[in-house]
Amino acid sequence: MNKDKKPEPNCCVPTAPDRKNSSPSPVFESKKQMDSSSLVYIPGGSFLMGTNDNDGFPQDGEGPVRNTVVDSFYISKIAVTNLQFEEFIQDTGYVTEAEKFGWSYVFHLFLDPDEREKFKSPFGTPWWKAVEGARWCNPEGPRSDLSGRETHPVVHISWNDAMAWCHWAGTRLPTEAEWEKAARGGLKQKKFVWGDEFIQDGRHHCNIWHGDFPNLNTEVNGFIGTAPSDLFPANGYGLKNMSGNVWEWCADWFSPFYPMLRVSDNPSGPGNGEARVIRGGSYLCHHSYCNRYRVAARTANTPDSSTGNMGFRVALNADSDNH
């Protein structure tokens, strides 16, 4: 059994092929810009991680449920926004991997119908298109921009890009265990970040797909793509959009078998691998094919892959000088 088995391609986040020469993230001088207004303190302690839910994906390693302990830490209230990422770019001149490689994956409905077929799709997922010129500031390609989306989460961000931002900001990516403890908000073994019922108190609590995937989104929550990072009700810890909107990179290498090892104290994933963990689901998740907006759901992508539904939020040690 190969604990570092590469995840199978999936409809949530296609893996970018032929990106073999990706370079390590550069180390920038820390700006120490994260302050108390941007972060939430998560008390250390134990929680029940994972799920045995029949709605889960056992092949992803969601279970078994296990008691997990993490130390206290801080995590950002929201995913890193376009404005925050723009400040980083202006300060450092950093070039994202989507820019280096010249393209990134865009969801087909965001493109002009007359142009969709000129872009290639990964095998089995015709709704994804490899669009030349798609990048963080041109999310749908060269004809698009960030107007009106300044506070939306930045997308087309690889794991390596996220790490570069972390170096600059004096932060780090959360471990998968930290991410799940924070997402649960103090609730015990609930299906969603907010509870067991998808519609709670008559309100939508996340930005996912509504309608007939992948051809019709009824936009009942007001969005077909990303929503502002601070929209929708916060969880019990005051964190927003831990479910839906964009997938969020974690620090760990991915293995579908690692949870079975039941490493209980501050687990940080396998020692190596081919893909990094992403959590939380995105605006493309839908119960008919991908219900990974559940709090225990997990998947992965290669560190140099980028798509229009992958972003990140950051963490800090509780004893960090930044706070």
d(CA 238, CA 262): 28
The domain limits of the chain are 45-78+88-93+153-317
Q: CA end-to-end span of the chain, whole Å?
A: 43
Fold of the CATH domain 45-78+88-93+153-317: paralog of FGE (formylglycine-generating enzyme) (3.90.1580)
d(CA 183, CA 189): 11
Report the candidate in 160, 154, 184 with the shortest Cα–Cα distance to residue 45: 184
d(CA 139, CA 245): 14
Residues 87-127: pLDDT tens digits? 999 999 999 999 999 999 999 999 999 999 999 999 889 99
Residues 54-88: pLDDT tens digits? 888 888 999 999 999 999 999 999 999 999 999 99
DSSP state of 310: E
d(CA 181, CA 183): 6
Residues 118-165: pLDDT tens digits? 999 998 899 999 999 999 999 999 999 999 999 999 999 999 999 999
Compute the average pLDDT of residues 10-18: 70
DSSP state of 160: H
Sign of CA dihedral 176, 241, 136, 138: positive
Q: Which residue has the higher pLDDT, 12 or 306?
A: 306
For tokens 């302050």, name the residue.
35
